[in-house]
């Protein structure tokens, strides 16, 4: 009897291991890249969100806007050469934008050259009616964004319409933006004009654009504390098939070297404000991040 039980247990464990192996393998896309495995999607995404549709007292009725800087790049080449299909995370874009809308602020979208913003559609909360309705309208801006380059050349210096710059998350924030010279100018422009900077999850990776030559002493966020997606969690990506390989570079580590402290250890709902920099740790923080941003921007226009 004991022998039969042990054999049965061994077979169960073998079948469970085989099932986990296939469930944790990243899924190939038509262009040869990979999206997260079924197992990783179950762990890291949700069909709904905690958007609470906050109503704000004295919403803004003027012309102040928020400039959302998105990536126009799709595939991240991992350390092993495999490509991860990424872009901008829909929850980290939509929830904050919905709170900003409720507070009376329009959100303008730009990408580096004006190509359509890429969206991690595999992370879309398909059962969230509020998100889906907002996205149906907002995707027009994502598909036809302005050009960050044109903004810098033609609008940045003289513009008084903008009250904040917003960099959403998704691993796509690590593609093209951290070394973008136009973003460097926008960050310094916003900082000089005492505007708010909003960055969530992997969004803070794009703040590296402000470092220029990589000098810690001249980095405008040297000494700041932020909430952001932890490097240690990114390192676990290949284990569950979230990414098809190890990260090509470690953005939190680079921010640390420039004097930035990441306050959270988990990919949780942590949000933080240090001076005019508002940050959030992960998609779980998107609702509170959006509420904090909307509240702080209203304080500026209503004072």
Q: What are the tens digits of pLDDT across the range 149-208? A: 999 999 887 778 999 999 999 999 999 999 999 999 999 999 999 999 999 999 999 999
* Segment holding 196, helix H or strand E: strand 196-200
More confident site: 25 or 79: 79
Model pLDDT, residue 22: 47
94-125 per-position pLDDT tens digit: 999 999 999 999 999 999 999 999 999 999 99
Domain extents in the chain:
36-302
Give the SS3 label for residue 82. coil
Whether CATH 3.40.50.880 fits 36-302 = yes
Give, in order, the Cα–Cα distances in Å from 241 to each of 21, 36, 44: 9, 6, 11
Which one of the listed residues 66, 131, 142, 201 is annotated catalytic? 201
Q: Largest alpha-carbon pair distance within the chain?
A: 83
Model pLDDT, residue 12: 43
* Segment holding 143, helix H or strand E: helix 129-143
Model pLDDT, residue 2: 57
Catalytic residue status for 201: yes
Model pLDDT, residue 266: 96
Helix then strand count (H, E) for the chain reads 10, 13
**pLDDT exceeds 70 at position 254:** yes
**pLDDT exceeds 50 at position 14:** no
| pTM of the predicted protein model | 0.92
Model pLDDT, residue 217: 83
Q: CA nearest 256: which of 216, 296, 209?
A: 216
47's CB contacts (< 8 A; 6+ apart) are 125, 126, 127, 128
Provide, rounded to the nearest whole percent, the portion of the chain with pLDDT above 90: 85
* Mean pLDDT taken over the chain: 92
Q: What is the mean pLDDT of residues 78-103?
A: 98
Of the pLDDT bands very low, low, confident and very high (cuts 50, 70, 90), residue 21 is: very low
66's CB contacts (< 8 A; 6+ apart) are 100, 105, 106, 107, 108, 162, 163, 164, 165, 166, 198, 297
Model pLDDT, residue 201: 98
Q: What is the mean pLDDT of residues 31-49?
A: 94
The span from the CA of 218 to the CA of 273, in Å, is 21
């Amino acid at each position: 009897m004991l022998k039969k039980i042990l054999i049965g247990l061994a077979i169960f464990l073998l079948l469970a291991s085989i099932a986990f192996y296939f469930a944790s393998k990243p899924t190939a896309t038509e262009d040869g890249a990979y999206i997260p495995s079924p197992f990783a999607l179950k762990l890291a995404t949700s069909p709904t969100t905690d958007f609470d549709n906050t109503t704000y007292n004295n919403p803004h009725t003027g012309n102040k806007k928020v400039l959302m800087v998105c990536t126009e790049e799709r595939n991240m080449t991992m350390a092993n050469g495999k490509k991860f299909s990424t872009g901008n995370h829909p929850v980290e874009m939509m929830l904050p934008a919905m709170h900003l809308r409720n507070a009376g602020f329009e959100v303008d979208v730009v990408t580096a050259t004006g190509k359509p913003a890429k969206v991690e559609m595999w992370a879309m909360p398909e059962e969230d009616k509020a998100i889906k309705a907002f996205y149906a309208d907002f995707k027009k801006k994502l598909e036809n964004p302005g050009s960050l380059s044109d903004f810098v050349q033609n609008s940045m210096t003289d513009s008084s319409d903008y009250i904040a710059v917003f960099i959403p998350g998704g691993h796509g924030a690590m593609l093209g933006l951290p070394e973008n010279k136009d973003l460097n100018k926008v960050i310094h422009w916003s900082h000089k004009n005492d505007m708010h900077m909003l960055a969530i999850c992997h969004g803070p990776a794009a703040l590296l654009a402000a470092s220029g030559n990589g000098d810690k002493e001249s980095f405008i966020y040297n000494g700041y504390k932020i909430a952001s997606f932890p490097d240690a969690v990114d390192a676990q990506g290949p284990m569950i098939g979230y990414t098809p390989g190890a990260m090509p570079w470690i953005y939190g580590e680079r921010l640390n070297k420039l004097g930035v402290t990441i306050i959270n250890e988990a990919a949780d709902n942590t949000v933080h404000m240090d001076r005019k920099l508002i940050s959030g740790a992960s998609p779980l923080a998107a609702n509170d991040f959006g509420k904090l941003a909307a509240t702080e921007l209203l304080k500026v226009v209503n004072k």
